[in-house]
Each structure stands twice: as structure tokens, then as C-alpha cells.
Amino acid sequence: MQKYNLNLTGVILCLMVALMLPNKLYSSTQKKTNDSLAFGDNNIYELYKIYPVNQTNIVMLGDSITYAVNWNELFNSAIINRGINGDTTSGFLQRIEQVTNLNPKKVFVMGGINDIFQGFQVKDIFENHKKIIQILKEKNITPYIYSTLYTAKKDNGYNDKVKELNVLLKKYCEDNKIVFIDLNKSLSKDELLIKDYTHDGLHLNAKAYLIWKEEIKKYIFDKK
């Protein structure tokens, strides 16, 4: 009987280990998937490298919020989208030549929220913005800097950092005569993204992009 009990205990232990393994494997796979969002591993980045376009007047540089809309069709104008899902301002810097090589007159930049999600310091995100602006100016490209958008969720700790970053960006743009486009004025209330303008608390819906369009069309179509 004692031997039988020992064998039964062994079987139970084996079953418990077997049940735990899928969870461990899933966690490992999930982490790998998250890590693959780096721009260098992203299929969108590879596509941007092979597209035949070699000149445009306007480029939209950003992350998934920029990538999600076809700016060309939204404005019925020649605008190149260089947004990449999950990208950070560090990623923008590493692929900035994909933008400057198009010889644009204007580049609209929105980024920072993925940096914040990944735990980067606000001061470092701000410094990356400054480097991007400097590179564009050195190429005689006019930068237009967007505010980083708030999320729709309260008490997640992210919106405080978004606010801090936007204060720095706005001040820097004012001091250096750079256009700062504060989309939060139209898309957010009480430092929260308005829920009518988002489908998941972060990414925008069609109504939001129509508002965005109205906010920037004067910069898109001016002759500067």
C-alpha cells in the first residue's frame, strides 16, 4: 500500500509539472513577440526600405498612431507615412535617414508614448526629440512637433509622464520657433484621451483622425 501511495504521488507530481509547462512556454513566446516590436525586426521597416519613392514634400514620422491612417488619402495629397507600430523615439533616430533621404520640405513628428510604456525617462525622450529636430533642421527640413497623446485610462501612471514630456516639448518649440501642435486640446479632456475618439484607450478612431486633419491642414497646404 505504501508503494502504491508513493507511485500515485509521483504520477500527480508529473501531471502538475506537465500542466505548468504550457504556461511557461507561452510566457517565453509572449516576451519574444513583444521584443520583436523593435523597428529593425519590423516588416514595415523592411517595406519602407524597398519602396521606390525617392522624393516627397511631406513625411509623417511616428509610431502606430501615425501608421494607422493613410495620410495620402486623408488629405488627397502626396504625403508619405513613416509610422511603425511599437516604435520609440530611439527608433526614429535610428531610421531617420529613411525620412531625410526623401528630401521632404516638412516632417511631422509624433512619438514618446511607447518610450513611456517601456519605462524610459522623460528627459531621455525629450533629448531624442531634440536630436530629431536638429537632424531635420541640418537638412533644411521644417519640423512640426506634435504633443504626445494622453491615454484614456486613469491612474495608470503614464499620463503624468505624458504631461511632463509635453511641457518640455512645448517650451522647447516656443523657444526655438518650431511649430508645436497640441492635439490634446481637441482629443483629450482633463488629461485623458476622450473615449469617443479611441477604440482601445490608446489608438485613435476615424472621428479622431478627422479632427487631427482639421488641426494640421493649414500646415499641410501652406507654401512654406
CATH of the domain at 214: 3.40.50.1110
Checking if the pLDDT of 209 tops 80, the result is: yes
Structural domains of the chain, count:
1
Cα gap 71→104, rounded to integer Å: 15
What is the extent of the structural domain holding 140?
Answer: 55-221
Judge whether 178 lies within some domain: yes
Judge whether 10 lies within some domain: no
Residue 187, judged by CB atoms within 10 A of its CB (0-12, 13-18, 19+), counts as buried
With CA atoms as reference, report the closest residue to 113 among 31, 198, 43: 198
Average pLDDT over the chain reads 86
pLDDT band at 11 (very low <50, low <70, confident <90, very high): very low
What are 146's strand-pairing partners? 181
Say what the pLDDT of residue 53 is. Answer: 82
Judge whether 209 lies within some domain: yes
Cα gap 186→190, rounded to integer Å: 11
Judge whether 35 lies within some domain: no
Say what the pLDDT of residue 54 is. Answer: 82
pLDDT band at 17 (very low <50, low <70, confident <90, very high): very low
With CA atoms as reference, report the closest residue to 148 among 172, 127, 171, 164: 164
What are 185's strand-pairing partners? none
Say what the pLDDT of residue 38 is. Answer: 56
Judge whether 37 lies within some domain: no
DSSP 82: E
Judge whether 116 lies within some domain: yes
Judge whether 43 lies within some domain: no
pLDDT band at 74 (very low <50, low <70, confident <90, very high): very high
Encode burial over 188-224: b for 16+ CB neighbours within 10 A, e otherwise.
beeebbbeebbeeebbbeeebbeebeebbeeebeeee
β-pair type (79-83, 58-62): parallel
